[in-house]
Amino acid sequence: MITSPTGSLYTLHETALHAMYADLERVAQMQDKVFIGAPGTIVQHRKGEAEYYARQYLDGDGRQRQAYLAGPVGSPEADALKQSVQDRIDEVKAVIKTVRELAKLNFGVADAKTYATVGALFNHGVFVAGGTLVGSHAYGVILNRLGIRAASYHTEDIDIARREQLALSDIPAGGLLEILKQTGIRFVEVPGLDRSAPATSFKEAGASRFHVDLLVPSADESFTIRPVPELNAHAAGLPYLAYVLGTSQNGVLLSRHGAVPVRVPDANRFAVHKLLVSQLRTNDSTKSLKDLQQAAVVIGFLGEHHPGSIADACEALPTSARSRVKRAVAPLERLLEPHPAALDEVREALAD
């Protein structure tokens, strides 16, 4: 049962902090590639009579790695490449310093494994081509962009979705699974209940629950498995996913290892879609409650600071989805008691 909150569902960050975040986001969006793992340091090693440069760093799984950069030390080409990488390391360390300051003040920050995984996808052009981060990590990005903080969330899921085939050219032969393994995390395919069906999820091997789900819209209200040829993979087809992917925005995922550019849904559709999904999860009350809570936070803010945006998102709902979203209004009412303007907008937008 959902209990009535005693106060606002969110807190506004101070204007100066929101401006600091916006500056960081602008800098991060200028990156063509991100380091997988911590930025690390440049070291020199000797091989025979020659010395060469290498980058020493912690990978996404926290293991120390070394990657060859160039050699021999002292050659113009090697020294120029070394300086270029050093400049990138210095830039990322400056970003990390800002991220640490924001994290102390309750901006959302992802863990190292998530950063490495999302970074590997970014480096292969997935988000530029139209791939979208959805789920709880997208929620964290959206809250940061809105300039608000709310109750913390924890997830070991990374949900990546695409609406249409992505125009990708930098994909290894092993497809999505090989991209994920570039993080240093030992990913494996997760077999479904039907062992003959292709996998749509990839997890860290062993007891870890950390995993990546690939999602696409289904053609109707059924849950299907559909091929994603550009990633040499398959995805879970979900009803109404096309709705939330219909409009999107650029953002950045923050981590103590850096900041990686991503694409996430627009806040208003994200929130309304969460209401819808809460009514589709008939066998998981915990996740349904989390969906409602995330929807309530975003709706509460938008209703008070961007009136009309929730109504726009409701108007764009497929006709067949409206009845499901209406069923979410009753439990939503208790959550939105501190935000009557937002609740009124939802009621009016869904009125017959």
CA torsion sign, 25 to 28 to 34 to 40? Answer: negative
- At 4 the pLDDT is 36
- At 192 the pLDDT is 77
- Look at residues 165, 210, 155, 171 and name the one whose alpha carbon lies nearest to residue 187: 210
Q: Which single residue is written with the structure tokens 């709902």?
A: 317
Round to whole Å and give the CA distance between 36 and 123.
9
Divide the 352 residues of the chain into consecutive groups of 10 and give the mean pLDDT of each group.
61 96 97 96 91 95 93 96 98 98 96 98 98 97 97 89 93 96 96 85 96 94 93 96 98 98 99 96 80 97 98 97 95 96 96 82
Round to whole Å and give the CA distance between 219 and 348.
29
- At 6 the pLDDT is 53
Is the distance from CB of 153 to CB of 213 less than 8 angstroms?
no
Helix 319-327 to helix 267-280 angle, to the nearest 10 degrees?
A: 70
Round to whole Å and give the CA distance between 72 and 53.
8
Non-local CB neighbours of 94 within 8 Å, separated by 6+ positions: none
Q: For the chain, what are the domain ranges?
A: 41-104, 267-352
Its pTM surpasses 0.85: yes
Is the distance from CB of 325 to CB of 279 less than 8 angstroms?
yes
Count CB-CB contacts under 10 A for residue 318.
Answer: 13
- At 1 the pLDDT is 32
